[in-house]
């Protein structure tokens, strides 16, 4: 996959190429469970390149939380905290995504400090927006 095939606003093409050096491209077919609620799989965040995933939380029966597409991140809460997964992530269609390991960020900072900083800033922003949405949703319930 060429970075020019994918637009990710926080990073330009050169920075996306740099990120790809420190991440792993993975593929999920429709219906594949990428992350399972309750699993301990911290230290990874995932950036969707192509496709779509749905986020579901099990509270007796599956509850759709949201759907995410290209340029969006999932797994960001456990990325820093190494806690159990708070929801399941399932491919809604053929999906390609980058698996970003927290353990690789130190090396990325040494090689490409601006890219690493922009990536972490984006992950923090996405986590903050999702937490804000959760708080607003729980107050209106």
- Which residue numbers in the chain have pLDDT < 50? 1-5
- Phi, psi for residue 7 in degrees, rounded to 5: -110, 120
18-57 pLDDT, tens digit each: 999 999 999 999 999 999 998 887 788 999 999 999 999 9
- pLDDT value of position 81: 80
Look at residues 15, 43, 6 and name the one whose alpha carbon lies nearest to residue 112.
15
Counting beta carbons within 10 angstroms of the beta carbon of residue 42, is it exposed (0 to 12), middle (13 to 18) or buried (19 or more)? Answer: middle
pTM of the predicted model, to two decimals? Answer: 0.84
- pLDDT value of position 138: 58
The domains found in the chain, sorted by start residue, are 3-132 (2.60.120.10)
């Amino acid at each position: 996959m060429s970075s020019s095939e994918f637009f990710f606003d926080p990073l330009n093409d050169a920075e996306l190429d740099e990120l790809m050096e420190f991440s792993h491209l993975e593929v999920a077919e429709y219906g594949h469970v990428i992350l399972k609620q309750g699993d301990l799989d911290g230290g990874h965040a995932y950036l969707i390149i192509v496709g779509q995933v749905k986020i579901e939380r099990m509270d007796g029966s599956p509850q759709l939380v949201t759907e995410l597409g290209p340029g969006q991140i999932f797994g960001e809460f456990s990325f820093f905290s190494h806690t159990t997964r708070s929801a399941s992530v399932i491919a809604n269609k053929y999906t390609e995504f980058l698996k970003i390991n927290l353990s690789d960020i130190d090396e990325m900072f040494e090689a490409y400090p601006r890219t690493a900083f922009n990536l972490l800033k984006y992950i923090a922003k996405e986590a903050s927006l999702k937490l804000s949405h959760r708080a607003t949703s729980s107050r209106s319930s």
